[in-house]
Amino acid sequence: MSTPAPGRRTAEPARRSRVDATVRLAVGLPLLVVLAALLVRPGDVARTGSGPEETALARTTVICPSGEGGVVAATDLDAAGAVTVRQGKKEEPLRLAARRPTRVGSGEAPVVLDAEGELAPGLVAGRAGSPQVAPECRPPVFDEWFTGVGAGAKHSSVLELVNPDAGPAIVDTLVYGARGPVDAPRLRGVAVPGRSVVRIDLARAVPRRDELSLHVTTTRGRVTASVLDTYDELGRGRSATDYLAPQPAPATANLLLGLPEGRGRRVLLLTNPSESETRATVKVVTEESVFTAVGSRAVVVPPQSVARVSISPLLRGRNARDALGLLVESAAPVTATARLFVGGDVTHLVPPPMLTETSLVVPRGAKRLTLALAARAGVVQVVSRAADGRVVADEHVEVDPGRGAVLDLPGAAELVTVSTNGVEVAGTVLVAGDGDAVLRLRPVVRSGLVADVRPGLPSA
């Protein structure tokens, strides 16, 4: 038997060891890579992004719907400059001085005002016509409710849609009635051409005799919606018209402020968009307290329906003299409107939003500011300015939880600025003339939001 040469005994094992290591690496590395890919998920990566950043408002649009008389525009800040005014096909600049109301032409067509830069955060406007019909001038809104519209001979409403932009807009409207949702195909997918207005007579689009409510949603573009409401007693009775203001969303507490004086019919209209029945209680708001009137009963609101109840019994006797408004509290969120037919004039009360500061353009004439629903005790400063920008009153009003407050405003006032010491409060201005109109205090938009956008891995 031959003996292997020296060195050959160790050469073969060494070669096998190197081969085994190569094989292990060839098989093991891909497995490690796959295992690492399975263990690491994009969702586990720490995200360093943040929410949208608040920034000064650089541009705003305010739209006044159709109405009598011209439009009064103003800025409630120290800035001065030019804004763009469009009415129909006419477009022209308008120079605004700081805190001085300025008239914008005339005519009944809708008016669109665009402001940029320092004028944007303080732009406000209002109609200067009869106080009996005083619409709200406001920016476009994408989702809102109109409670208590009509589509019959005695009570009829017209929905007006104004598109301020060059591109087309699309609007969908859901209709609720006394017995549930109403099929209204003519109100679905309504196209509003660029820089134009579309008016829909509900008596033609969805003729009905019961009380209705509208849920208006803009699915494309920007639109400002408004409702002109007409109540006709027929025969020898009088016909009266008023703008019905919108409500941003249903709520469990709805404050209705600014009750006009006089005798007449007063009804409360509630919309329950949920699929379950709910109940609501109605309380009276005075300067001394908020209380449930003796003999008042809960209002039952069926699911996805509109309920109507007379509130005239709540506003008799002492309540008729002291009542500033009504507070409707419900188990489930509802929308609310009080329709008052007093002295041959129709007036609507719609819940005003909570705010800490605002400015409002108001018609000339007798005016009364009403405040309520303060979360805590505080002081509200009210500054009234005439058409020339002159301060005609600078007053302070104390507000407390569980009670209302009233302040008579000068008849010459056209721009009213309200600010608090940080206390949120809701309010309206009742303007009296041949008829009454109630204008809500609405917060002025001072800032905008810029989204935090950055490259990143998609979420798992």
- How far apart CA 71 and CA 163 sit, in angstroms, is 18
Is 60 exceeded by the pLDDT of residue 322?
A: yes
Same domain, 65 and 84: yes
Residue 433: which CATH number? Answer: 2.60.290.11
Once rounded to an integer, what is the mean pLDDT over residues 408-436? 93
How do residues 219-268 score in pLDDT, each as one tens digit? 999 999 999 999 887 655 678 899 999 999 999 999 999 998 888 889 99
Same-domain pairing of 210 and 278? no
Task: Give the tokens for residue 225.
Answer: 């919606």
Final residue belonging to a domain, choices 249, 278, 302: 249
365 and 387 share a domain?
A: yes
For residue 223, give the nearest of 204, 244, 243, 199 by alpha carbon. Answer: 199
Q: State how far the Cα of 336 lies from the Cα of 272, in Å rounded to an integer.
A: 9
Distances (CA, A) of 76 to 126, 136, 357, 359, 419: 13, 17, 11, 7, 12
> Of 211, 228, 249, at which residue does a domain stop?
249
pTM: 0.86
Q: Is the pLDDT of residue 282 over 80?
A: yes
For the segment 331-380, what is each residue's pLDDT rounded down to a tens digit?
Answer: 999 999 999 988 888 999 999 999 999 999 998 889 999 999 998 999 99
> Which of these three, 293, 322, 348, is where a domain ends?
348
Share of the chain above pLDDT 90, in %: 67
Residue 34 confidence (pLDDT) above 60: no
Beta bridge partners of 299: 280
Same domain, 403 and 359: yes
Tokens 């008042």, residue located: 296
Same domain? For 372 and 397 the reply is yes
Alpha carbons 203 and 208: distance in angstroms, whole number: 7
**What's the mean pLDDT in 315-343?**
91
Mean pLDDT value across residues 403-414: 96
Q: Number of folded domains in the chain?
A: 4
Q: Which domain holds residue 316?
A: 250-348
Tell me the mean pLDDT in the region 296-302: 94
In a domain? residue 333 = yes
Residue type, 71: V
Whole-number mean pLDDT of the chain? Answer: 87
